[in-house]
Amino acid sequence: MISIQNLSFQYKKGKPLLSEVDLDLQKGKIYGLFGLNGVGKTTLLNNIAGTLFPKSGTCFLDGENTRFRNPEVMNRLFIVPEQFDLPKLTGEKYIELYQLFYPNFDMEVMSQVLDGFDIDASKKLPELSYGQRKKFLIAFAISTQAELLIFDEPTNGLDIPSKSQFRKIVSSLDVEARCILISTHQVRDLGAMIDHVIVLKNERIVFNQNLDNISQHLSIKKIEQGSSVSYIYGEEMLGGIHAIIPSAQNEGSKMDLELLFNGIIQKTEEINKQFEVKS
């Protein structure tokens, strides 16, 4: 699906945001892209979508370079950015005009998602709140039937019921026919949806594992203060330490993606060592 090779990017003024990034994304998976604010997550998404061009390296969608923005490539992907502008049109007119760029657009899906989000498409888009406009754009993205869906902080600006509805909608999609990439810092909002974790740090991808593999190598355990149990990374909690431990001590606990992310940021080498093949 997506093959990124040796991709580097920087704006004219400023230090590099991405350096020699290699990444492959496949259909049938929901990827979570995590990183601290300002690390370059949005920049990477825009390079994938062809709205920014790398200083060096390439990004291919099934062998086609996305930077050339060929129509046959662009109608196979859709990006919902965190910040966006919509034209001074009603939602209905927007759909009428822009669905023409997506040959597999499904109006029935659009109506269902709009209903689920409680959005009135007869209203002019600029008259809607930020959260309502974002829900409209999410609905349109899903209705394009694009094979690659990219969401940048999709739950920012959404109220709690809308966040729940977003998770429900994405979980109901035929994921086998799509590749879904979600960049977020709201791990607790979307952690249950994601089956592959990618972490960006210091201009590079420093962690890239699916949840099944993570669960085989790492586990979460509450450790009492003063316990002799060793752990890779931990955070103090009431009555002890919320800790990431090696799989040899695995007790079948559910992975906490927020703790995992903090552990990767703080203990990158130690976490990755757990995934090295032992002879």
pLDDT tens digits for 111-149?
A: 999 999 999 999 999 999 999 999 999 999 999 999 999
Does residue 70 lie in a domain region? yes
pLDDT tens digits for 80-100?
A: 999 999 999 999 999 999 999
Cβ-Cβ contacts under 8 Å for 34 (sequence gap 6 or more)? 41, 183, 184, 185, 187, 197, 198, 199, 200, 261
Domain boundary among 141, 175, 202: 202
pLDDT over 70, % of the chain: 97
The pLDDT score that the predictor gives to residue 250 is 47
The pLDDT score that the predictor gives to residue 60 is 98
Number of domains in the chain: 2
Domain that holds residue 247: 211-273
Same domain, 167 and 256: no
User: Smallest Cα–Cα separation from 162: which of 184, 183, 134?
Assistant: 134
The pLDDT score that the predictor gives to residue 186 is 78
Same domain, 171 and 226: no
User: Smallest Cα–Cα separation from 49: which of 67, 32, 63?
Assistant: 67
The pLDDT score that the predictor gives to residue 12 is 81
Q: pTM, whole model, 2 decimals?
A: 0.94
* Count of C-beta atoms within a 10 Å radius of residue 268: 15
Show the low-confidence residues of the chain (pLDDT under 70): 248-253, 277-279
Same domain, 179 and 261: no
